[in-house]
Structure formats: C-alpha cells, structure tokens
Amino acid sequence: MKEKVITIDECEKQVKLAVRLMGLLYYHFAKVLIDELGEKEGKRLISLAIKNFGLDRGKMIREKALKLGLKLTPESFNKFSDLPKLGWGGMDRRSFCPLAEVWFEKNAVELGKLYCDVDIYKYRGFNPKIKIKRVKWVLEGDEICKYHVTLQ
C-alpha cells in the first residue's frame, strides 16, 4: 500500500468539514425534537442527551488519566482533551469554533447554547469535584470561549 502524505492545511480543512457536519446533525436533531415535542420538552431532552454525552466523554478522559496514575485535576483533564488539535483554533477556540459557525448561520444560537453545556459535563464526568464556570462565550458575542476551572 502506498503511503499518502497530506498537508496540515488539508488536515485542518478535513477536521473543520467533519465538525461542521456534526454541528449540522446536532442542529437538525435538536430542531426536530423541539418542533415535534414543543420547546419545553424538546429542550429538556436535548439537555439530557448533551449531559449524558458530556459525562461519557469526561469518564473516558478520566480513565486515560487514571491509567497513567495521574490525579484528577484540571491540568490532567487538559492533557487528554478529546477535541481535535487541528482545525479547531486551539484548546480555547481562539480563532475558530466550527460548531458556533453553524449555529450562527442557522440562526440557532439558543440551540447551540444547549450543546455547549457539554463542556461543563465533561469536567463533571472527569471529576465531580472540579467546578467550572463559563466566563466568555462566543455565542454571547465574545471572541473566545473561556472557562474558570477549579478543583474543590
């Protein structure tokens, strides 16, 4: 089999495409839930699914840290982030959030906000003693998403 080499730019382009499609899929699922079940019940179910998704991701990150004998601190959480390092704009999403881009295009910022709670639940699934507070949010007009994270 022939080895194929692609550029970092092409890798970033492919990651952005995949994440954009994930954002569109979330948007359509969320919209159908609200359209079919009403806003209150639809949002409740979306929030529950996002909570379960985040807790599951956090537990997977926790297992990686524990296998290496690391304490369950915010620093060890960050060592095993499950977000792509290419095409995302870095860990704090400074230059690009492909999900927010979709939700702005679809005029669905409120649906996007429900999704963004995944970050809080990821930390909770990793270690319930970690407290996380959102201090900046692209979906509220900030240039970056930023959290204040502490271990209690």
Separation of alpha carbons 72 and 125, rounded Å: 11
Whether residue 26 lies inside any domain: the answer is yes
Domain count, the chain: 1
Separation of alpha carbons 68 and 17, rounded Å: 33
Q: What is the pTM of this model?
A: 0.89
Domain with 18 in it: 8-151
73 with 151: CB under 8 angstroms? yes
Enter the DSSP assignment of 140.
G
Whether residue 142 lies inside any domain: the answer is yes
12 with 95: CB under 8 angstroms? no
pLDDT, one tens digit per residue, over 38-57 is 999 999 999 999 999 999 99
User: The domain spanning residue 90 has which CATH number?
Assistant: 3.30.1380
pLDDT, one tens digit per residue, over 58-111 is 999 999 999 999 999 999 998 988 888 777 665 444 446 889 989 999 999 999
